[in-house]
Structure 1
Amino acid sequence: MFERFLQWPRLIKRLMTVASDILVLGLALWGSVSLHRDQLYAPSQHDVLLYLLTLTVTVAVFIRLGLYRAVLRFLSDRAILTISAGSLCSVAALWFFSLLLQKPISSAVLVTYGALAFLFVGGTRFGTRALINRPGARNKEAVGIVGVGDTARQLASALQQGTEFRPAAFFAPTPVADLSLIAAIPVYNLGHAERVVRELGLKKLLLALDESAEDVPPSFKSRQRLQVLNQLESLSVPVQAVPSVSCLVSGRVRISDIRDLEVEDLLGRESVSIHNEQVQQAIAGCNVLVTGAGGSIGSELCRQILRQQPQKLVLFEQSEYALYQIERELRQLMAADRYEVELVPVLGSVLHRRRCSSVMTENQVELVYHAAAYKHVPLVEHNVIEGVQNNVFGTWYAAEAAIEAGVQRFVLISTDKAVRPPNVMGASKRLAELVLQGLATRQSATVFTMVRFGNVLGSSGSVVPLFREQIREGGPVTVTHPDICRFFMTIPEAAQLVLQAGTMAGGGEVFVLDMGEPVKIADLARKMIHLMGLTEKTLSNPGGDIEVVFTGLRPGEKLFEELLIGNDPQGTTHPRIMMAREHAEPWHQVSELLEQLSRASRAFDRQRIIQLLYQAPLGYQPVERPEASGADIGMGASNVRPFKVGGDKAG
């Protein structure tokens, strides 16, 4: 019946609504007089004229207030105010026409009529809305909302207007009295979630914790979120989250845009604070160049730098598509926030020293953030020459170009894999650090510094998207080793701390970011399985949904990552940034090693490169150790091993 009604032309439905109002308003007039006289009465001719004039004016007022433009199925609570105003105008019209026609009406009748008019007009509309929406609500998926703050209430309202989900319960993270109601939806303690999910048949839980309160410290918000997720992990329904407050404020998403849980939700990390005045003072008005500008770290550095409003931002990238993407995004940010920054997109490789030098000189670059690197451990392990060329010689050439161009500050983005590396990627990054440390001692015009940190969430190759894809495909989830652990940090956090550390540099320092506690990858995989509403398939639970399979460590992969070579880091003015006491080598020794690596690279001698890396004071410990050969040349007081240089070929 209602489906047929909804298909009628809009004009017909409006005329039916007007007719309905005339009918119920007339009933309200007759009923108010009957109640006052305490008996049913038949209106006289003068009464009918009074009623018609009142009804005519009332309908005209409703039209003027826009009541008939509202779509009944999407009627909002604001309609109550419109109906109240219209009812008051109707009472005023009844009183005016009663005086004009000399048919005095008592104040009791006027009050009763106003109340009945409001109830009848509003009741027909909201009753019709409920009848229309009831079949659709019955077909919606029942969900629970974790949270009772503003975010949770906005989410419930948005879902009620939508077509997919029906909010059936609120869950309060802190104890509340059961049987409370918010917008006619019951509120339960989170501790009763298992029973409520079963009884109400909830298909999903939506995380909508209100974290926008300024008086609540970030550490408490993170701990509360982690505690809530730990409670929800044992439930047999998937858990998703609403967008963050920053995304909502920026307008990129709506409150109804629901996403899967990210690993930062699962880790409960505290947000990073930076000394923004110090960073802005170092960057604002300067000419800045970012190498690897299209990569995960490089692109976020560009976003953060843009907010500090430099005079010029040079995007140096070898991938055409990546450069196009980041330039397009930054120009959109500039238009939205009205930044006046000159963007210079440059296609080029850091292996072309003259190209680097000309770009820095032409754009009068003052700050360089060197993020260009090959960082995937297994790929570099199978492509040793390319990895060493890009990570070591690319850093060297970019640094020498910075010296030639008179760059004031050069910051290398390093990695925790540079500490006692068992793989070529880590060894190449540690050698890149030695190159900058050596250049820092060779000259003082350009300040060289390095910032070392661990895995970033959401970067290319991150385990989280891989795990999510494997879970959706029915498994198995592949983990290399049961005990493998990693440090994690979000890309914006890492970029902010890199900018902060860059302002502290005096020359040759290795800064280390505090990554928090290491995370066991197998535990992370299990947590993702549970929070997606599935169970792990094990020997004790053969009927589970997803199996976790251990595939063995990949070539060059470590069980535990480290951030320091020594155990005596120095503190800095920022609580999340430390300064490592790392061993450095004199430049003439480093340059000799670079010359040997260059000859081996030109000869495509992979084994010779590995041997040179092994003999150098990098702490490199490959699975298969190459045999030493050639004459010994010491490289200072290295506590690792003496450095040996021989002929061009492995001995």
Structure 2
Amino acid sequence: MRRIRIPGPVKERATRPFLWLQRSFRQSPPAFRRGAAMLVDAAIVMESFAVALLFRFEGDVQWEFWVSFWPFALAGAALFVLLLHINGVYKSILRYTGIYQGVRIASATSIATGLLFIADVTFDEVLGYYPAPRSVVLVGAALAYMQLVAVRLYPRVFYELSLREVGRRKRTAIVGTGEQGVALAGHIWRTAAMNTQVVGFVSDSPSEVGNHIEGVPVVGTIDGIEEIIAGHGLDQVIIATPQASREQVDRIWRTCVRSRVEVKVMPDLGELLAEGTIRLRELQIEDLLGREPVDIDLEALSGYINGKRVLVTGAGGSIGSELSRQISRLGPARLVLMDRDESGLYYLGGELRREEFNAAELVVGDVTNPERVGYVFERFRPQLVFHAAAYKHVPMMELQATEAIINNVYGTLNVARAAGAYGAEKFVNVSTDKAVNPANVMGATKRLSEMIVREMAGVYPETVYASVRFGNVLGSRGSVVPTFRQQIEAGGPVTVTHPEMIRYFMTIPEAVSLILQAGAMAEGYATYVLEMGRPVRILDLARNMIEIMGAPDVQIKFVGLRPGEKLREELSEEGEQRLPTGHPMVYRLVSENEGPPGGGDLQELVDAMVYEARNQEAERAVRLLQRAVPNYSAADLPEVAPREEDGPFFSS
């Protein structure tokens, strides 16, 4: 492709003499620089008043006016310089002059003008003459302000123009003319290490095309991205707009792939504030899902978490660790992290300490051990409990049914009972869409855990119990995206169970944010379901990942449904009605078939089920599970000999 070179707004040779002068000035001693700046400012003030006087008399100033004017101008210059010094103007670095410095100069100018005006009136009243006409004071002050600001803007203008024209850089277009796009462009101009030259902005609004932002043109819209790449000889496109739809991101990505142009994504402003720097990342599969940004009521969450003692079970897992991170930023008095995975806990604790959060308590323990659970509640007395400890991999749990029952059912019972017995304010159970019309052991145990939470709400009415149900999360351990990524990196094939397999997806951070939001709004027993957006076909996901990772030769292999898998997951059952809440992405489920909490006692059935599971009586345990969850549609026993193609990972 022939590249068209567009000249920059200012040639490097034009700025070279000024840059030499600027560097020499910066290398001089601070006292010399401040003294020189004061002399320049004094000269500007005197010149401004002199010009105002010439304007006042149309260039014909009588001698007696000049005689009284110069002492007044000298005094005015001294007053201006003094007030500029008091306001800290001389401590600013010239090449970073901005609005803040302009406000400081305006403050000093306003005070100086008022004092000079009062002095002029006083001279007239007391001595019978005025050093300068009053209009000269006002006009001269306005001229002085404009020149004092302008003289400080020149170094910044030449500095930024010089950065844009140094060396050969990647010709880049930024998609997005909002705050993120403009902030990114400013960062690029000031950071030579990024090796990037911004040649234009790409907008989603045709009305902005042809306008300029910081001297850089808006060269077109997203719909014309192919012509923009060809016409401007781009090396790179950076997506810096969180409002871009899935279709827009997909169009940009596919066009850039065809044109062999790099695609980068700028994180949202929340990530930037957390990290303190701008780090572009590669386009990820999450960017192609087109999910709307999650709007979180931080004030409600802060009031809900701040100053409270919080317990997170399963804290070393994907959801539990992200819960811990987000809760730690909301100011809990103490955050108790419980998991039997000591390595996961150790690394999570180190991460929180690096973020200067020192209120975390790491507890190695198993939720299926009631004595350990009781000890944790007795010692730390948590007010809020987030129960995320669970086995979640469907094929594994089909072959390990007894462990799924012990962990997901008995573990939930232990923690939920302890929460009520020790007076916790709220208990939030993390559930799954696989609990809806369950077709596998994992889903059935999670459905039963929801029923247990409902039962505990009737037994312990002082504690608010809730379950939050959602679909698959991207990036969790063992989920489809990291699995596909590993297969692509290994050269394939990418294994897809069925060409019509469809799933709902959301990212881990947004799922956790909505779990916290649901917990904050819960005032009595409820089951909440999260808005998962549009479903995604797994085959399309695999194809997109192969293209994103630049591996067109990797093949896709269909391996058939694994034990317990469904082609399409659901978020609610027949008879469950989704009611809106105070958040557009959180719904409350109301079942037509359920009575009030505590209407039936599951204790005897659960005890018998756990007894059989502990004795490795899988058949009996599963029969009891089917009795507890009548719509569990499993036809075969789960713990059977593994298939040869499953490999050793799935062995029982």
**TM class, shorter-length:** 0.5 to 0.7
- CA distance in structure 2 between the aligned counterparts of 1:293 and 1:547, rounded to whole angstroms: 37
Q: Could you tell me which of 248, 260, 269 is aligned with 1:227?
A: 248
Structure 1 residue 426: Cα displacement: 0.6
- CA distance in structure 1 between the aligned counterparts of 2:161 and 2:214, rounded to whole angstroms: 20
- CA distance in structure 1 between the aligned counterparts of 2:449 and 2:629, rounded to whole angstroms: 12
Change (3 A) 1:63 1:481: same
Q: Secondary structure at the match of 2:555?
A: strand
Residue in 2 that maps onto 1:248:
272
Residue in 2 that maps onto 1:106:
none
- CA distance in structure 1 between the aligned counterparts of 2:542 and 2:331, rounded to whole angstroms: 40
Structure 1 residue 60: Cα displacement: 9.9
Residue in 1 that maps onto 2:316:
294
Equivalent residues in 2 for 1:260-299 (5 A)? 260-299=282-321
For 1:419, the aligned partner's letter is V
Structure 1 residue 334: Cα displacement: 3.7
- Is the 8 Å Cα contact of residues 159 and 166 (structure 1) preserved in structure 2? no
The alignment status of 1:577 with 2:583, answered yes or no, reads no
The alignment status of 1:552 with 2:560, answered yes or no, reads yes
Q: Secondary structure at the match of 1:157?
A: helix
- CA distance in structure 1 between the aligned counterparts of 2:465 and 2:528, rounded to whole angstroms: 11
Residue in 2 that maps onto 1:637:
none
- Is the 8 Å Cα contact of residues 173 and 228 (structure 1) preserved in structure 2? no
- Is the 8 Å Cα contact of residues 233 and 527 (structure 1) preserved in structure 2? no
- Is the 8 Å Cα contact of residues 306 and 330 (structure 2) preserved in structure 1? yes
The alignment status of 1:497 with 2:514, answered yes or no, reads yes
For 2:509, the aligned partner's letter is P
- Is the 8 Å Cα contact of residues 455 and 602 (structure 2) preserved in structure 1? yes
- CA distance in structure 2 between the aligned counterparts of 1:127 and 1:567, rounded to whole angstroms: 62
Residue in 1 that maps onto 2:452:
435
Q: Secondary structure at the match of 1:233?
A: helix
The alignment status of 1:320 with 2:348, answered yes or no, reads no
Normalising by structure 1, we get a TM-score of 0.66
The alignment status of 1:478 with 2:490, answered yes or no, reads no
- CA distance in structure 2 between the aligned counterparts of 1:515 and 1:529, rounded to whole angstroms: 24
* Structure 1 residue ranges without an equivalent (≥5): 1-20, 26-57, 69-81, 90-124, 212-220, 336-340, 535-543, 627-651
The alignment status of 1:456 with 2:473, answered yes or no, reads yes
The Cα RMSD (Å) is 4.1
Residue in 1 that maps onto 2:189:
157
- CA distance in structure 1 between the aligned counterparts of 2:22 and 2:531, rounded to whole angstroms: 66
Structure 1 residue 407: Cα displacement: 2.2
For 1:206, the aligned partner's letter is I
Provide Cα deviations, 1:172-200, integer angstroms capped at 9, x if missing partner: 44446579898789945544433554577
Normalising by structure 2, we get a TM-score of 0.66
For 1:407, the aligned partner's letter is A
Equivalent residues in 2 for 1:383-422 (5 A)? 383-422=400-439
* Structure 2 residue ranges without an equivalent (≥5): 1-15, 30-36, 45-158, 639-652
The alignment status of 1:193 with 2:193, answered yes or no, reads no
Provide Cα deviations, 1:566-625, integer angstroms capped at 9, x if missing partner: 342233333322222345596765222212212211221222222222333342122537
Structure 1 residue 415: Cα displacement: 0.7
- Is the 8 Å Cα contact of residues 317 and 344 (structure 2) preserved in structure 1? yes
- Is the 8 Å Cα contact of residues 315 and 345 (structure 2) preserved in structure 1? yes
- Is the 8 Å Cα contact of residues 167 and 185 (structure 1) preserved in structure 2? no
Q: Secondary structure at the match of 1:65?
A: helix
- CA distance in structure 1 between the aligned counterparts of 2:373 and 2:20, rounded to whole angstroms: 76
Change (3 A) 1:482 1:182: farther
- CA distance in structure 2 between the aligned counterparts of 1:364 and 1:344, rounded to whole angstroms: 12
Residue in 2 that maps onto 1:568:
577
- CA distance in structure 2 between the aligned counterparts of 1:300 and 1:128, rounded to whole angstroms: 43
Residue in 2 that maps onto 1:537:
none
Provide Cα deviations, 1:359-382, integer angstroms capped at 9, x if missing partner: 111112222111111111122222
Q: Could you tell me which of 617, 622, 626 is aligned with 1:614?
A: 626
Structure 1 residue 250: Cα displacement: 2.8
- CA distance in structure 2 between the aligned counterparts of 1:563 and 1:597, rounded to whole angstroms: 26
Structure 1 residue 559: Cα displacement: 1.3
Structure 1 residue 169: Cα displacement: 6.2
Change (3 A) 1:203 1:159: farther
Structure 1 residue 66: Cα displacement: 2.5
- Is the 8 Å Cα contact of residues 173 and 198 (structure 2) preserved in structure 1? yes
Provide Cα deviations, 1:266-297, integer angstroms capped at 9, x if missing partner: 12222223344433333322221111112221
- CA distance in structure 2 between the aligned counterparts of 1:466 and 1:564, rounded to whole angstroms: 27
- CA distance in structure 2 between the aligned counterparts of 1:369 and 1:59, rounded to whole angstroms: 61
Structure 1 residue 445: Cα displacement: 3.3
Change (3 A) 1:365 1:249: closer
- CA distance in structure 2 between the aligned counterparts of 1:381 and 1:67, rounded to whole angstroms: 75
Q: Could you tell me which of 172, 175, 180 is aligned with 1:146?
A: 175
Provide Cα deviations, 1:517-539, integer angstroms capped at 9, x if missing partner: 222222233334444566xxxxx
- CA distance in structure 2 between the aligned counterparts of 1:60 and 1:403, rounded to whole angstroms: 73
- Is the 8 Å Cα contact of residues 619 and 637 (structure 2) preserved in structure 1? no
- Is the 8 Å Cα contact of residues 222 and 248 (structure 2) preserved in structure 1? no
Residue-pair matches, total: 494
